[in-house]
Chain A
Amino acid sequence: MTGRRRRIALLSHCLANQNAKVADYALCPGAVSPLLDLLRAEGFLIQQMPCPEMTFLGVSRWWQVREQYDTPGYHYHCRRVARSVADILEHHLREGCDDLVLIGVDGSPSSGVGVTDHGPDWGGRPEDRPVTHVPGKGVWIGVLEQVLAERGLPRPRMIGVGLELAGFEMVTELRRLTTFLKAGDDDGR
């Protein structure tokens, strides 16, 4: 922990509240504590963002893929949520910030940072259908980036934690996240 450097982490909602996940996708009952512990140890002020999927379709929503969320209506909703995130970030930035990061969820149709999902055949009666993971951002992360830029706010360094990817291992992801966070710490020294 640096002590003097002010660091802010925009946190994807479900990393502190797995109840917001679609059924079967939760990794644990509540918060992903090892990840929160790491952010605290690195001296980050944690700002949890609303989950736009949750605020759009609620907790009983079906699984969906990126293509199903990539609609004008969902983009509009994401912009509304992003404006609120920007308001809060602007408020925090008045006290300065040396390192701004965003922690997303790779594999997510909304919150993916480096990897999102892809299922062009999804639709109609809910059932298991083929889905793949592809490089790219989720809908929410893309909209949020746009809104922050429009407001003239700094672009966060971003990383997606691979909670929804096959072969996910907490130890490996925490190691990757630690390297990412420490890179920002070193930048200012």
Chain B
Amino acid sequence: MTGDDLRSRRIAVVADTSLQGGALILRLEAEGWGLLQLPPQDLPQPAFDAALGLVLDQIEDYARHGYSIGLFLPPEVPTLTLALQEGLRSRGIAADIM
């Protein structure tokens, strides 16, 4: 326990492949974003929906508490992006792709 609250209150939602490294993820880490990894976009149903639902649960709670939510999704994951955007819309959460 540190005695101070060091949390950045900024959540970067990233594709599963992005967490493995690269310029984007290194920049986000350096800027103090917390990373929230999405499930693989080729995960079969219904496993994909279950995993995405858990991610959305977290985003919803962070959003309710005023945390900044950033979606950092590469163009290579269109299915994932659409599913995430639909999930956010259905929960009334505003978040833009950055």
Contact = CB atoms under 8 A, between A and B. Distances in A.
Interface stretch (A21-29, A97-105, A176-184): A21-29
Contacts of A47: 16, 37
B57 A33 contact: no
A48 B37 contact: yes
Contacts of A55: 54, 57-58
B45 to A, nearest CB: 10
Interface residues of A, number: 37
A17 B36 contact: yes
B5 A19 contact: no
B47 A88 contact: yes
B90 interface: no
A17 B34 contact: yes
Interface residues of B, number: 43
B37 A30 contact: no
B28 interface: yes
B37 A36 contact: no
A16 B5 contact: no
A45 B20 CA distance: 6
A27 B62 CA distance: 19
Interface in B1-52: 1-12, 16, 19-21, 28-37, 39-40, 42-44, 47, 50-51
Given A16-B34, A20-B34, A30-B28, 15 more contacts: A16-B19, A17-B36, A18-B6, A23-B5, A26-B7, A28-B6, A29-B8, A29-B34, A30-B10, A40-B21, A48-B35, A55-B54, A83-B50, A91-B43, A92-B40
20 contacts: A16-B34, A16-B35, A17-B34, A18-B7, A23-B7, A25-B1, A26-B2, A28-B6, A29-B34, A30-B33, A31-B34, A40-B20, A47-B16, A48-B37, A58-B61, A59-B65, A88-B39, A88-B40, A88-B43, A91-B42
